[in-house]
Structure 1
Amino acid sequence: MLRWLLLIPFALVMAMAAGLVAMMVASVVSPGLALLIGGGFERLLDALFGLADLGIDPGPTAEAAFVLLGRLGFAIIVAPVVLVAVGCELFSLRSGLIQSGLTGLLAALLPLGMLGLARAPTGAEVQVLGGLVLVGAATGFVYWLIAGRSAGGERREPV
């Protein structure tokens, strides 16, 4: 019980922090991901200040943009590692490869499904998806290092 109350939440928070660091590293390495992160914020700020210069209240636009950013952050960093961690705990899956791989796969597929891509991704989008897979794999690996190696609690020896 102590494992579910202390160790698993701690491991999830550390994994999410590692995911944010991995996202920053990936944005330095990948121009597509850097453009998505940095260019998106730059465009958002330009749009908000442009609305303010025109005398239009930028509040609703800012609110909508930050809600979307929160959902994307949740879909990339939080949801994949939590879903895989709970599944691995319930089914006693202790493999680091399974936890990293599934978290990486979900980190790429959840935002893709959320945006509803109805066409084949371009080369830059494939590069971004590859970066998201690596970010997800990093979060899954950090979770596995802290709590996943003993997923499901103590192993019971056959009698």
Structure 2
Amino acid sequence: MLGRILLVVLALLMAIPAGALALLGGVLLDPALREAFGRLGLAGLFTGLADLAAGVPPDLAASMLAFLAQALALLVVVPPILTALIGETFGLRSALWYGGVGAGLTAALPWLARGAALPPAGPAAAARLSAILLATGAASGLTYWLIAGRSAGTRPSAP
């Protein structure tokens, strides 16, 4: 039992960065998202530097960083953990379960969070973002499946 828990933890420690890399790659490959994050990053940097130069404590920068960390954790950490917990509980070994449910859950979370409303950029941007999030969830779910999901629910035979 302890060996299985360690394998699950190791698999999650590998699946979460795999999903983060897939998300980063998707954002960098999409021109509109790359430009938006570039502007946001530069605007945040210039605002933070101006605040520091004016002597204002960097509370706003810290709160923005905390919000960004929470959003990334919601997208990259929660779906593989939920998928793994359900898969391990029911002994599911299918790559379709880990990749598909991980992808669907990752893509559905932003839609659920904003009440199924389209983002201001329009339906094309929403479709591209959904595709990136599907790839993110699939990457993390399949990474987990490769390490620990294939042997979920199996018990070692007694010698």
Q: Is the 8 A contact 2:14 2:143 kept in 1?
A: yes
For 1:122-143, what per-residue CA distance to the aligned partner results, in whole angstroms no more than 9, with x for missing partners?
2213211210110111000000
Cα RMSD (Å) of the superposition? 2.2
Say if 2:43 is the partner of 1:43. yes
Q: How does 1:112-131 map onto structure 2 within 5 Å?
A: 112-114=111-113, 116-117=114-115, 119-121=117-119, 122=122, 123-131=124-132
Match of 2:17 in 1: 17
Q: Is the 8 A contact 1:28 1:34 kept in 2?
A: yes
Match of 1:26 in 2: 26
Say if 2:86 is the partner of 1:78. no
* 1:11/1:37 CA distance change after superposition, 3 Å: farther
Match of 2:134 in 1: 133
Structure 1 stretch 84-93 or stretch 124-133: which is displaced more?
Answer: 124-133
For 1:4-24, what per-residue CA distance to the aligned partner results, in whole angstroms no more than 9, with x for missing partners?
431000000101111122122
Task: State the one-letter code of the partner of 1:79.
Answer: V
- How far, CA to CA, are the matches of 1:119 and 1:48 in structure 2? 31
Q: How many residues align?
A: 154
Question: TM-score, length-normalised on structure 1?
Answer: 0.84
Question: TM-score, length-normalised on structure 2?
Answer: 0.84
Match of 2:98 in 1: 99
Which ranges of structure 1 fall in alignment gaps of 5 or more residues? Answer: none
Structure 1 stretch 118-127 or stretch 88-97: which is displaced more?
Answer: 118-127
Match of 1:151 in 2: 152
For 1:82-127, what per-residue CA distance to the aligned partner results, in whole angstroms no more than 9, with x for missing partners?
000000111111111111111111112223333x256334221321
- How far, CA to CA, are the matches of 1:52 and 1:25 in structure 2? 32
- How far, CA to CA, are the matches of 1:135 and 1:47 in structure 2? 30
Residue identity (%):
33
* 1:78/1:98 CA distance change after superposition, 3 Å: same
Task: State the one-letter code of the partner of 2:118.
Answer: A
- How far, CA to CA, are the matches of 2:32 and 2:104 in structure 1? 19
- How far, CA to CA, are the matches of 1:94 and 1:110 in structure 2? 24
